[in-house]
Amino acid sequence: MEEARQEKSFNSSVLEWVETIVFAILFVSVVFTFAARVITVDGRSMEPTYHHGDRVLVSGFAGDVGRGDVVIIVHALQEPIIKRVVATEGQVVDFDREAGEIVVDGEPVKGEVFGLENGITYLPEVSGQLLEFPQTVPENCVFVLGDNRGNSTDSRFLSVGMVDHRNILGKVVFNLYPFAKMGRPS
């Protein structure tokens, strides 16, 4: 009788553990499917901020996307891309070709605003592949640039253009790797 009670207690404990583990796996799966994702940076377009192989935590629930936010964009190129928002809907975007700066609503936006060098933002010399400027950012869209302005396919190019909010997977909310950069993005 005592042996049967111990076996029943053991089976009950095992079932409780299995239930807890299954719940934890389901919870983590839901969180990483809908609330947050770990993304590995691919390419050099966001250097010096992010390098190839860096890992970031991205959330689609991190609030409205604004100027300076780093976002992951889908359906622009073949693979998801990581870029910085430099203008939002209704803003007029142009380039000061002599100073090498982007101009938003008539005001130059120096690279130092985003922790970059000043004077590095130019329109590449590739005919037929660029948007014509000035451009007004349409409703529910943003204008994005890579931090490595000389090596970035971004909103300057017809292939990316203005990015619809529906194509933004989420904002980078936490740097995971390399460990030296771990923490909230600056």
6 and 74 assigned to the same domain: no
Q: Cα angle vertex 186, ends 85, 171, to 5°?
A: 45
45, 135: one domain:
yes
Domain count along the chain: 2
155 is catalytic: no
Q: Based on the fold, state whether residues 102 and 19 are members of the same structural domain.
A: no
Q: Does 9 share its domain with 98?
A: no
9 with 54, same domain: the answer is no
- Phi, psi (rounded to 5 degrees) for 12: -65, -45
Tell me, yes or no, whether 100 lies in a domain: yes
| Domain annotation covers residue 144 | yes
pLDDT digits (tens, 9 = 90+) for 83-131: 999 999 999 999 999 999 999 999 999 999 998 999 999 888 887 899 9
Catalytic residue from among 45, 127, 155, 186: 45
pLDDT at 170: 92
Same domain membership, residue 45 and residue 33: no
User: Is there a cis peptide before residue 178, judged by omega within 30 degrees of 0?
Assistant: yes
Write the pLDDT tens digit of every residue in 54-74: 999 998 877 789 999 999 999
Q: Which residues form the domain of 33?
A: 1-37
pLDDT of the residue at 4: 61
Q: pTM for this one?
A: 0.81
